[in-house]
């Protein structure tokens, strides 16, 4: 099983605004919302990359500067593919600002 974590800062956004952007973008990034925990700014999603199941969690820590933390894992994909997918997701979020 491969798993990676990647964080990118989004200065100028509040944690609430950043979290809402993540929630509203789940389908745009190609995932299905599984669970959402507003109090923890946590989103858990499922999806497919290269026809393999992928588990994705997005969290927005209550810190300054505001950031999005991407945790992505798969039983079948290697780290290189997961890193590329995390980069793709964060690039989409960056373009939504």
Q: How confident is the model at residue 36 (pLDDT cuts 50, 70, 90)?
A: very high
Q: What angle do CA 87, 52, 97 make, to 5 degrees?
A: 25
Q: What dihedral do alpha carbons 3, 35, 38, 27 form, nearest 10°? A: 80
**What distance in Å separates the CA atoms of residue 42 and residue 56, rounded to the nearest whole number?**
11
**What distance in Å separates the CA atoms of residue 40 and residue 54, rounded to the nearest whole number?**
22
Q: How confident is the model at residue 97 (pLDDT cuts 50, 70, 90)?
A: low
Sign of CA dihedral 29, 79, 74, 76: positive
DSSP string, 30-63: TEEEEEEEGGGTEEEEEEEETTEEEEEEEE--S-
Domains of the chain plus CATH, in order, are 2-95 (3.30.530.50)
Q: Is the pLDDT of residue 87 over 80?
A: yes
The structure's pTM equals 0.91
Q: What angle do CA 68, 73, 74 make, to 5 degrees?
A: 150
Q: What is the mean pLDDT of residues 9-27?
A: 93
The pLDDT value recorded for residue 85 is 96
């Amino acid at each position: 099983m491969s798993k990676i974590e990647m964080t990118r800062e989004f200065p100028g956004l509040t944690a609430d605004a950043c979290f809402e952007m993540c929630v509203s973008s789940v389908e745009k990034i190609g995932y299905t919302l599984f669970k959402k925990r507003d109090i923890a700014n946590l989103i858990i999603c499922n999806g497919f990359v290269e026809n393999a199941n992928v588990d994705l969690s997005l969290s927005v820590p209550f810190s300054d500067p505001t950031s999005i933390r991407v945790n992505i894992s798969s039983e079948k994909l290697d780290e290189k593919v997961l890193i590329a997918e995390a980069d793709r997701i964060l690039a989409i979020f960056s373009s939504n600002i």
